[in-house]
Amino acid sequence: MYKFILLDLDETIWDFKAAEHRAFEETMLEHGIPVTPEIAAFYNVTNQGLWKALERKEVTKDELKCVRFERTYNKALELFKDASLPPLGPDTCKIINQTYMERLSHLGIMLDGAEDFLRSLSLLRKEKNFGVYFITNGTAITAHGRIAASGVDQYVDGAFISDDIGVEKPGVKFFNYVTNTLNEGDSGKYLVIGDSLTSDIQGAENAGMDSVLFAYYGKFPEGHESHNITYRATSYDEILSIIDSNT
């Protein structure tokens, strides 16, 4: 029987794509960079690739924050020669990233049905006496800001944020920090719920914990069959049923 539920945030509770798109648009406009589908697509591919590289420990989080906008700004210089953009300076990417992080930290946009799910989960946790904690690889400023902006903290017992811990999912050190903090070393007492094979599911495997792979839009990611996944769910009701039956 599970004693702790570890719940991912982006694309499990939050509509990160919507928040990211809005924050990116506002940031580009503030810095005089035209917002077009091409530049947005370039940023998305670059950013996603760097986050995967972070999971593989090929870049640091500080490098990720700057490199994604350094590459995007250079692409903008190439695409928008008539925009009179100044050359990339030594602090340009840092300044742009700071604007982006500030915008994103106020955008806790939830997926449809997520708040009802959290409300039901909170009632169940009180009834059956188990703990619920968010686990996220988000940066500290954006994660704390979005948690506060969306008000989801009222439904859980706390949050574990990689920036605060100093290591990211799927690293076993992340999950060791969680188990040490919660003073429960039995990995069988934990259930990890998330949408990502490479951070949530792989992290659960690394830590010897059970997992729920959640596909909000109904399609599981390619390669999910090769992972040791305990449960699969395509709706919040399915997740609640799994938790209710195992706590």
Point out the catalytic residue in the list 10, 195, 200, 210.
Answer: 10
Bridge partners, residue 190, by sequence: 4
CA–CA gap between residue 183 and residue 48 (Å, rounded): 34
Residue 237 annotated in active site: no
Point out the catalytic residue in the list 8, 195, 200, 210.
Answer: 8
CA distances (Å), 159 to each of 20, 31, 132, 133, in order? 21, 33, 9, 5
The identity of residue 241, as a single letter, is: S
With H, G, I as helix, E, B as strand and everything else as coil, classify residue 88: coil
Say if CB 122 and CB 155 are below 8 A apart. Answer: yes
Two tokens at 190? 């934990």
Residue 157 annotated in active site: no
Q: What are phi and psi of 213, to 5 degrees?
A: -85, 120
DSSP per-residue letters across 9-49: -BTTTB-HHHHHHHHHHHHHHHTT----HHHHHHHHHHHHH
Catalytic site residues?
8, 10
